[in-house]
Amino acid sequence: MVTSVNRKKNIGQRKEGGIAVFCKNNIFEGISIEKEYDHGIVLIKFSKLYFNLNDDLYICFAYIPHEKSNFYRICDNDFHVDIENIFLEYKYKGSVIVCGDMNSRTGELNDVLETDNLEKYIDCVEPDVFPAISKRCSMDKVINAYGRKLIQLCYNTGLTIANGRFGNDSCGSYTFCTSRGQSVNDYLLVCPENYYIIKNFNVIDFTEFSDHAPLSYEICLNNNIQCNSLPSTHKYLKWDSSKNQDYIQLLSQHNELLISLVGNMNSADDVNNAVREINRILYDSAFAIFGKTVLKRSPTYVKRHDNDWFNQNCASARQDFNYARNFYQRHPTDANHQRYILARNRYNRTKRLAVTNYKRPKGQELCEFAKSDPRKFWSAFKPMNKNKCLADSDLLINHFEQLLGGNPPDICEEVINLIETNSFLNDIVIDSLDTEISEDEILQSINKLKTGKSAGNDSWNDVGWHNPEVLTPHMDNLAKQGVILENHYVHLQCTPSRGAILTGKYAHRIGLQDLFTQEAVKIIEDNDPNTSPLFLCVPYTSPHSPLQNGGDPKYRGSNMPLRGIKGQL
C-alpha cells in the first residue's frame, strides 16, 4: 500500500469511506505522496529519475460525494476547486492526470474549449495551435450540476475526458449501475499533449462487490525496471471437421517434398530423418489450421480455492450472475439491466446466508470448547501461518553498520563485554518483582473488586471441587468446611428463593411468589423466629434493583429477604 486516507466526518453510525492506493513492489521506490486531503483527494508522484522520464508524472485520485448526500452537506470543501488548484500548481512540474469517482454526469457536452478564430483580425497576435481531438461519445445522455462543473474544470485546466474518446471505450460505457438505472460517473482526465502516456483505456465489467465498474488503463513508462520474465505458452491442436478441406489444401503444397522424402530412404538414418521431417510438416500444417496457444501457469502458481463457507448454492448463484452480467454487457437493454441487478442481489444474498450458516455452528462449537476444552478454544484464535523473519544476519549487520556509521569499536567492545560477563543482569535489582505475593496483597486486590453488581451464572464445571483445572481456592475451602447443596431447586426470581431460605417455607406459603412488594415486606417483618427460624443472616446493605418498592424508606433499595441492615436479620 502506498497510502490511504479516511474521511474524518461521519454521519450516524455508518463509517465514511476513503481512498487507498496500492502498487507493485518493484516500483514502490519510485512513487511518493505529494498531497493528501482527508475529504477524498490523493496526489501521488512518479519520479522521473526512477522511471527515466522527461518530466515527473502526477496522478490525482479523487472521490467527489454526491451533491445530495449528507456528507456533502456537512463538508466545507469545494472538490472541483481543490482539483483545479492542484492541477495548476503541478502542471509546470510535470504531467498531471486526474482519475476517480466524480459523481458527474456530463452527457455528450463538449469538454474542449473551441477557438473563436478572432486572432485573424489582429496582426500582432499569433494564432493558437490546438491539437486535433476526436469527438467524445457517451452512453449516458443525462447532464447534472456536477457534470457542468466538471466540464468547466476541463475548460479552466485544459484537461479532457478519456471516457468514450480513445482506447477500448469508444462508446463511453456505463461505469455505475443500480436498480434505479445506470450512468457514467467515473472518469479519467488527461491533457491532449499527454495522450501518448495512456494506453489501453477500458471500462471493465461490473462485479458483485460494487455498483461501479473499474477503470483500467496503462501508463507508458520507459522499460528500465526489472520485471518478471514473460509467461510461457502451451500450444495444442483442436480438431475442427469443418476445416478439413483447408488442411488438405495446405498439405498439397508439400506433395513434392513428401514424395522426395519417401523416395530417398536408402538407410536407417534416412528413414529416421524422413519420419521426423514428415512429422514436422504434418504438425505445422495442422497447427496453422487447428492450432491454439494458451498461457502456461507458473509452477509456483497456487490456485485460489473458494472459502469454506462457499457452498453449491453460492456457485450456482455466481454462475447466474456472470451470465446475466455478460449478457447485459452485450445487450444493454432495460430488461437485461433489471435481470443483471436481480442476479447480483441474489448472489450477494446467497453469500451472506452461506456465511451466516457457516459461522453459527462455528460459534456454538467455540462456546462448547470454552466450557469443556479451553485449549482448543484458544488454539482456534492462533494464526495459522507464523511470519518468519526473512532477513539474514548479513543484512542486519549491514543495516546497523549504516545506522552507526561504520564499525565503532568502543560501542562494540562494551556490548561484547556485557554479554560475555552477564554483568548487566546482576546489576538489575527490582524488589517488587523479587518478593513473594503476600496474603494481604491478595485481600487488598479482592477488596478493590466491584461488589455492587450481581454475580454471573456459574455452571457445574466452573468451581474447583468439580473441575481441578479451575482455580477457586476460597470457594473450595468454604465448601470443604461447610455443606455443599448439589440437589435443590429454586424459583426463577430472587425474592421467592430468598424468602424461602429465610423462613424455611415455600414461597407461595408466605406470599412471596411474585416480586417484592410492600405486603412482602410486612410478611418478613411479622415472621416469628421461634416458630419459623431464620436460616441465613447476611449483613450487607447493597442495593438490589428489583426490590425498590418497600413501604418503609429504610427498606427502599435494599433486598430485605437476603440483604438487610447489619444486625437486624
Number of domains the chain contains: 3
> Quick one: 187 and 216 in the same domain?
yes
Instruction: Determine how β-strand 31-37 pairs with β-strand 18-21.
Output: unpaired
> Quick one: 290 and 324 in the same domain?
no
Three-state secondary-structure class, residue 5: strand
Distance of alpha carbon 346 from alpha carbon 319, whole angstroms: 11
What DSSP assignment string belongs to 347-414? HHHHHHHHHHHHHHHHHHHHHHHHHH-HHHHHHTTS-SS-------HHHHHHHHHHHHTS--HHHHHH
Q: Does residue 547 carry a pLDDT above 50? A: no
From 246, 270, 304, give the residue that closes a domain.
Answer: 304
Confidence at 535, pLDDT banded by 50, 70, 90: very low
Distance of alpha carbon 108 from alpha carbon 86, whole angstroms: 26
The pLDDT value recorded for residue 496 is 78
Query: Among 18-22, 225-229, 333-337, whose mean pLDDT is lowest?
Result: 225-229
In a domain, 357, yes or no: yes
Contact between 175 and 215 (Cβ < 8 Å): yes
416, three cell numbers: 561484547
> Quick one: 166 and 35 in the same domain?
yes
Distance of alpha carbon 278 from alpha carbon 259, whole angstroms: 10
Distance of alpha carbon 169 from alpha carbon 137, whole angstroms: 9
pLDDT (tens digit per residue) in 453-471: 445 545 677 788 888 877 7
From 340, 362, 382, give the residue that closes a domain.
Answer: 382
CATH number at residue 140: 3.60.10.10
Q: From residue 394, how far is each of 398, 399, 401, 403, 414 by CA, in Å?
A: 6, 9, 10, 14, 21
pLDDT (tens digit per residue) in 399-430: 777 766 655 555 556 666 665 665 555 666 66
Contact between 1 and 61 (Cβ < 8 Å): no
For the chain, the farthest-separated pair of C-alpha atoms sits apart, in whole angstroms, at 132
What's the average model confidence in pLDDT over 375-401?
68
Distance of alpha carbon 154 from alpha carbon 146, whole angstroms: 12
Query: Among 142-156, 212-226, 522-536, whose mean pLDDT is lowest?
Result: 522-536
Q: CB-based contacts of 108: which residues, under 8 Å, 6+ apart?
A: 136, 137, 138, 141, 172
The contacts found for 272-281 with CB under 8 angstroms, 24 or more apart, are 281/251, 281/254, 281/257
> Quick one: 137 and 108 in the same domain?
yes
Residue 77's domain comprises 25-236
pLDDT (tens digit per residue) in 266-322: 877 788 888 888 888 888 888 888 887 776 666 555 666 778 888 889 989 999 998
Question: For the whole model, what pTM was predicted?
Answer: 0.50
Distance of alpha carbon 344 from alpha carbon 336, whole angstroms: 12
Distance of alpha carbon 302 from alpha carbon 97, whole angstroms: 36
Three-state secondary-structure class, residue 242: helix
Q: Does residue 87 carry a pLDDT above 60? A: yes
> Quick one: 276 and 129 in the same domain?
no
HSE toward the beta carbon, residue 502, CA cutoff 13 A: 27
Instruction: Determine how β-strand 186-190 pairs with β-strand 94-101.
Output: antiparallel
Contact between 186 and 98 (Cβ < 8 Å): no
From 382, 411, 429, give the residue that closes a domain.
Answer: 382
Three-state secondary-structure class, residue 191: coil
217, with CB counted inside 10 A (0-12, 13-18, 19+), is: buried
Q: Does residue 567 carry a pLDDT above 50? A: no
Q: Does residue 133 carry a pLDDT above 60? A: yes
Contact between 569 and 524 (Cβ < 8 Å): no
Instruction: Provide the percentage of residues in the chain whose pLDDT is more than 70.
Output: 69
> Quick one: 72 and 204 in the same domain?
yes
> Quick one: 229 and 249 in the same domain?
no
